[in-house]
């Protein structure tokens, strides 16, 4: 699979994951409306009939307000939570090199040059945040700047600008907003149900006895979906994040035309081994490497696919090296055997 096929495959997988997220969200809202409609449509004259999907509409309204609020304030809160501060204008050699590299890669990627921030942490890491491609913010740790060579630093910056180019910032903000809204609503719904059960004294059992078998099964599935909603939405968000890391890796290889530079950078970041203590869990999915250094991020297969915020670093490095091999093979630069 060449570079552009890799990018197309990653975009396709990301779209499937986003579609799954939207379908699950619709099931939580409009699925409940359907069940309410079925349970009330044969009631006696004058009784309440659930004819309008109030639940689904309310759920999307709450989610929209939450996402809008996060989009307006999210980048500032992300930078603040990580302890990031604007790049000093002291013109130190390291700062000048970082500024030059960011400017070069912004031109190569065809995006606006991001505002640069530093994070005082010896562990190498980086992330990009922002509400739209015209207002990106790039944050890198001081460990990253001091540890990597110029080519490696350029590759990491290209990876982050790949997220800007692919509109990952907006996507992940939206996903985070929806996941947060569902978690809040699930918590509120759970409390309401506990209060309702306490006040009704078990009267709902009679109503349940009148339900058809299929409807009862759907009701149980819907309730279980709400109980597991925070976990499921978080897993979907992590799945989108993993696919986007592969895509950003491929974009970095395209911008720099040097896949080995990013492979070497990721290898050095992985071998640094220490968690990025300054960056907390809420920002983990934005970083080029899991700042918490969790073992699950090194897993391949079912467990890693479900619970890791990042794909295994060894797999990312292997893919980049394969790209470098194919590029060299296509250009005839490989030494004869």
What is d(CA 13, CA 285) in angstroms, rounded to the nearest whole number? 17
Hey, CA dihedral for 53, 235, 123, 274, is it positive or negative?
positive
**pLDDT one-digit tens code per residue, 51-78:** 888 888 887 777 777 667 766 777 787 8
Cβ neighbours of residue 268 under 8 Å, at least 6 residues apart?
A: 124, 147, 148, 152
The DSSP 8-state label assigned to residue 281 in this structure reads G
Residue 265: name the closest of 145, 142, 120 by CA: 145
- The CA distance from 21 to 152, in Å, is 35
Pairing of strands 115-119, 136-141: parallel
Cβ of 22: how many Cβ atoms within 10 Å?
12
- What pLDDT does 154 receive? 96
pLDDT attached to residue 204 = 44
pLDDT computed for residue 119 by the predictor: 93
Q: How many CB atoms lie within 10 A of CB 92?
A: 12
The whole-number pLDDT of residue 59 equals: 77
**146, 124 Cβ separation under 8 angstroms:** no
Which pLDDT belongs to residue 176?
62
Instruction: Give catalytic residue positions.
Output: 160
Q: What is the rounded CA–CA span in Å between residue 288 and residue 135?
A: 19
pLDDT in tens, the chain (337 residues): 555 665 666 567 667 767 777 787 788 888 888 888 888 887 778 888 888 888 888 877 777 776 677 667 777 878 888 899 999 876 667 788 999 999 999 999 999 999 999 999 999 999 998 877 888 999 999 999 999 999 999 999 999 999 888 877 666 666 666 666 666 666 666 665 555 555 544 444 444 445 567 778 888 888 888 888 777 777 777 777 777 888 899 889 999 999 999 999 999 998 886 778 888 766 777 888 888 765 656 666 666 666 677 888 888 999 999 988 887 887 776 665 5
The Cα–Cα gap between 20 and 103 comes to 37
What pLDDT sits at residue 175? 65
Contact between 39 and 53 under an 8 Å Cβ cutoff? The reply is no
pLDDT at 187: 64
DSSP at 126: E
Tell me, what's the pLDDT at 195?
A: 54
Residues with Cβ within 8 Å of residue 168, at least 6 apart in sequence: 162, 244, 247, 248
Q: What pLDDT was estimated at residue 126?
A: 94
């Amino acid at each position: 699979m060449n570079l552009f096929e890799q990018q197309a495959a990653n975009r396709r997988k990301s779209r499937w994951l986003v579609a799954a997220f939207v379908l699950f969200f619709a099931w939580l809202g409009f699925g409940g409306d359907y069940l309410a409609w079925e349970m009330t449509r044969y009631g006696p004259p004058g009784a309440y009939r659930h004819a309008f999907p109030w639940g689904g509409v309310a759920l999307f309204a709450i989610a929209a307000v939450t996402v809008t609020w996060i989009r307006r304030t999210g980048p500032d809160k992300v930078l603040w939570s990580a302890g990031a501060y604007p790049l000093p204008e002291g013109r130190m050699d390291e700062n000048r090199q970082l500024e030059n590299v960011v400017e070069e890669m912004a031109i190569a990627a065809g995006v606006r040059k991001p505002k640069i921030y530093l994070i005082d942490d010896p562990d190498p890491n980086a992330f990009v945040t922002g509400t739209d491609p015209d207002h990106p913010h790039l944050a890198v740790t001081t460990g990253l700047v001091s540890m990597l060579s110029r080519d490696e630093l350029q590759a990491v910056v290209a990876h982050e600008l790949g997220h800007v180019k692919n509109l990952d910032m907006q996507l992940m903000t939206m996903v985070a907003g929806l996941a947060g809204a569902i978690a809040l609503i699930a918590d509120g719904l759970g409390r309401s149900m506990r209060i309702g059960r306490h006040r009704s004294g078990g009267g709902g059992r009679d109503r349940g006895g009148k339900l058809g078998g299929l409807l009862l099964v759907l009701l149980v599935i819907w309730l279980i979906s709400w109980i597991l909603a925070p976990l499921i939405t978080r897993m979907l968000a992590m799945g989108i994040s993993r696919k986007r890391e592969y895509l950003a890796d491929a974009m970095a290889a395209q911008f720099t035309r040097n896949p080995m530079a990013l492979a070497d950078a990721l290898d050095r970041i992985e071998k640094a081994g220490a968690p990025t203590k300054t960056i907390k869990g809420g920002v983990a999915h934005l970083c080029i490497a899991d700042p918490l250094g969790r073992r699950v991020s090194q897993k391949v297969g079912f467990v890693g696919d479900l619970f890791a915020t990042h794909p295994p670093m060894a797999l990312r490095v292997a893919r980049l090296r394969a790209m470098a091999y194919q590029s060299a093979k296509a250009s005839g630069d490989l030494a004869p055997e």
